[in-house]
Amino acid sequence: MANNKLNKKYNFDIEVIADTYAGELALPYVAAAVKSPDTVAKGYVRQIDGLNAKAVIGNVGSPTPVVASACGFSDGSMTTFDEQVLTLTQYKVNEEVCRGTVFPTWIGQNMQRNGDMPQNFSDFLMATVAGNAGQQIENGLWKGILDGTNNSVGFLSNDGLFDTDGLAASACADFGEQTITAMTNGNTSEQFALVYDQAVATIAGVLTKPDVAFYCSMKTYGLYIQQLAGAGTFANHQGVNNLGTNQAFASATFLGIPILVCPGMFDDAIVLTYTSNMVYGTNLATDSTEAQIIPTYNYMGNDAVRIIMNFAVGVQTGVKVDGIVGATFV
């Protein structure tokens, strides 16, 4: 489509052609970035879209409302109201591709230097960049850092480090804590047991939730499967259903509780909560999202194409005490 704003801005006589998407039109491209992280795509979080800056998550607690019968009104004073605030952090994608590197490849076989970009090439660029952005967001929603410099709140840290300070500033800062040891293929099940036992002692009601789950990294999950398959203390075992290590990489449980594998999580970390308590917010479906393909070769004297995206994401817990974090430093 013609971009008149660019024409006016640069005051050129040539017509600048760019594919610009905002609001709902940007949804397929921006959604590919913010919905593709494994933790999100597999439904391991509760996603809230359409936010502009923040969302307030309200909770009502009444742990022991029952009192002995009496003629008068006996206020148990146990009903409380609590709010969690999910704040979005703004992010952008600014990428540039030189057409000169594309023409010699199979991708550029149907491209002409003096013609417009084929739509399938524009879609290919958007999909590739969005997929890579999704991998960064997967790390960011757990570790609180996407580009190496800008910090936001992640589920387990706000600065990319899994330590006392990072956890204290994270979305799971108010979860209960359990000390575990560095995991190997001989002790991982014992670490899950420690976290489970702490939940039994302090938040037993969470274990009855239909979506209760353990969260762990790919490495931790792999060590657990190896232990079940006969490594370490389970020397004569053959794993779940006697499959050894030859089983799906997302189907194991501990005491019947699913273990969810999240590539963005830290190693030597276990989280026990329920999936609807892990909240992921975005500004999808608002006018604040944007996706653009800008053919700067038309008006800047270069041979480049620019890819631009603007979006916002953030994480928070619903009930701030309904979880346990297992870590080596707590």
pLDDT at 214 over 70: yes
pLDDT single digits (tens) 89-130: 999 999 998 887 877 776 667 677 776 777 777 788 888 888
Its domain, for residue 203, covers 175-279+319-327
Tell me the longest C-alpha to C-alpha distance in the chain: 89
Average pLDDT on 207-224 reads 96
How many CA atoms, within 13 angstroms, populate the side-chain half-sphere of residue 328?
9
Q: What does the DSSP assignment read for 258-319? A: EEEE-TTSPSSEEEEEEGGGEEEEE-TTSTT-EEEEE-GGGTSSS-EEEEEEEEEEEEEESS
Asked if residue 228 is part of any domain, the answer here is: yes
Asked if residue 198 is part of any domain, the answer here is: yes
Asked if residue 193 is part of any domain, the answer here is: yes
Confidence of residue 23 (pLDDT cuts 50, 70, 90): very low
Instruction: Confirm whether pTM is higher than 0.85.
Output: no
Percentage of residues in the chain having pLDDT higher than 70: 77
Closest CA to 315 of 140, 133, 70: 140
CATH code, domain carrying 268: 3.30.2320.10
pLDDT at 306 over 50: yes
Asked if residue 220 is part of any domain, the answer here is: yes
In contact, 329 and 321? CB cutoff 8 Å: no
Is beta strand 324-327 parallel, antiparallel or unpaired with respect to 269-274? antiparallel
Domain tally, the chain: 1
pLDDT at 240 over 60: no
pLDDT at res. 70: 73
Asked if residue 140 is part of any domain, the answer here is: no
Asked if residue 240 is part of any domain, the answer here is: yes
Confidence of residue 239 (pLDDT cuts 50, 70, 90): low
- Give the count of beta carbons closer than 10 Å to the beta carbon of residue 182: 9
User: In whole numbers, what is the pLDDT of the chain averaged over residues?
Assistant: 83
